[in-house]
Amino acid sequence: MFRTVGVVGAGTMGRSIAEMLAVKGRDVLLVEKNGKALDTSLELLEASLDRQMERWAITLAEKKLILNRIHKAASLQALADCDLVIEAASESLDIKKKIFESLDRYLPQSAVLASNTSTLSLTELAGVTRHPERVIGMHFVYPAYRIDVVEIIRGLKTSDQTFEQTKQFIEQVLDKKSIMVYESPGYVTTRLICLMINEALLLLSEGVASAEDIDLAMRVGYQFEHGPLEMADRFGLDAVLAALERMFREYGELKYRPSILLKKKVRAGQLGVKTGSGFFRYNKDGERLS
């Protein structure tokens, strides 16, 4: 079932998905249009495996096996033999449309084309392909190797067969829980978590509580692994902002309006873990310093 999987985009999410797929024993072709970015991404991926090794999650032999399953690919054309392609490029409709148009051309009709989009319209993406019935959404939660839930998004034309295949793959091969959602900006996970993050930002900017205390309250009080502000740092503040703006535009409701503080942070280039600082500070391994 989906033995060779293509992953388009080697950013935070694409890398995390590629790593998870390789851990689960699949061969992965990782595509990134910028060759240098691809190399950097693979270095980061290896660093992530090293961290897992330090935490005793995998052995050295397992690390080597996992790395051997991940192959660099220079173009979308190289994915022609994949059984499944998961697109995890930037959250821009135009970029994604172009990718799906190409994938549709290069891959046989039996292959499933999935997008990891969290807010864009899947039906619109599928619209650029000749076979929209094989287009589906697979929305992973970061980090994909640790978080065991996936939202499966059905576009208007996604076939039952595509859905069943995807669901089986997620549950049996990836060993994750799946929830089925219909197309709607943010689905369940992004919509709920971004609203909470945004509300936490408002609390912070109103001076109601400190960043540490807001996070502490949610971590201890409601058993979150990280508080909402650290979560935002880990997702990337730019990604959170993009998701909120998208939902604000789609729903037109004020509750989705991104807090000014978030915009300010993004403009200042403090994007969270990936830049070393956001609401808290981090080392290059993503461990929190303060």
Partner 1 sequence: MNILVINSGSSSLKYQLFDMNDESVLASGRVERIGMDSSILSHEAAGKPEVREVSEILDHTSAVKKMLDMLIHREFGVLHSIAEIDAVGHRIVHGGEAFSESVLVTPGVKEEIRKLFDLAPLHNPAHMNGIIAVEVNLPDVPQTAVFDTAFHQTMPPYAYMYAIPTVLYRKHKIRRYGFHGTSVDFVSHGAAELLGRPLQELKLIVCHIGNGASCTAVMYGKSVDTSMGMTPLEGLMMGTRSGDLDPAVVPYTINKEDLTLNEVNSMLNKHSGLLAISGISSDVREILQAIEEGNEQARLAFDMYTYRIRKYIGAYAAAMNGVDAVVFTAGVGENSAVLRQKVCEGLTYLGLLLDDKRNSIRSGEPRVITSDESKVAALVVPTNEELLIARDTYRIVCREKQKISSVDEGGTAIGD
The residues of the shown chain that bind partner 1, judged by CB under 8 A, are 3, 25, 55-59, 146
CB of 202 to partner 1, least distance (A): 29
Cis-peptide into 108, omega within 30 deg: no
Closer Cβ to partner 1, 27 or 250, answer by number:
27
**Nearest CA among 203, 200, 235, 202 for reference residue 219:** 200
- Nearest distance from residue 25's CB to partner 1, in Å? 7
Q: Return the closest-CA partner of residue 118 out of 20, 174, 184, 197.
A: 184
Of 176, 175, 197, the closest CA to residue 186 belongs to 197
- Our CB check for partner 1 shows the closer of 65 and 181 to be 65
- Of 65 and 209, the one with the shorter C-beta distance to partner 1 is 65
Nearest-5° angle of CA 140, CA 97, CA 271? 50
Report in angstroms how near the CB of residue 137 gets to partner 1 at its nearest: 27
Nearer to partner 1, 57 or 80 (CB): 57
Q: Closest distance between partner 1 and the C-beta of residue 145, in Å?
A: 10
d(CA 71, CA 90): 21
- CB-nearer residue toward partner 1: 24 or 167: 24
CB of residue 175 to partner 1, shortest distance in Å:
10
Nearest-angstrom CA–CA distance, 267 and 228:
20
Under 8 Å between Cβ of 32 and 9: yes
* Closest residue by Cα to residue 9 from 101, 69, 96, 83: 96
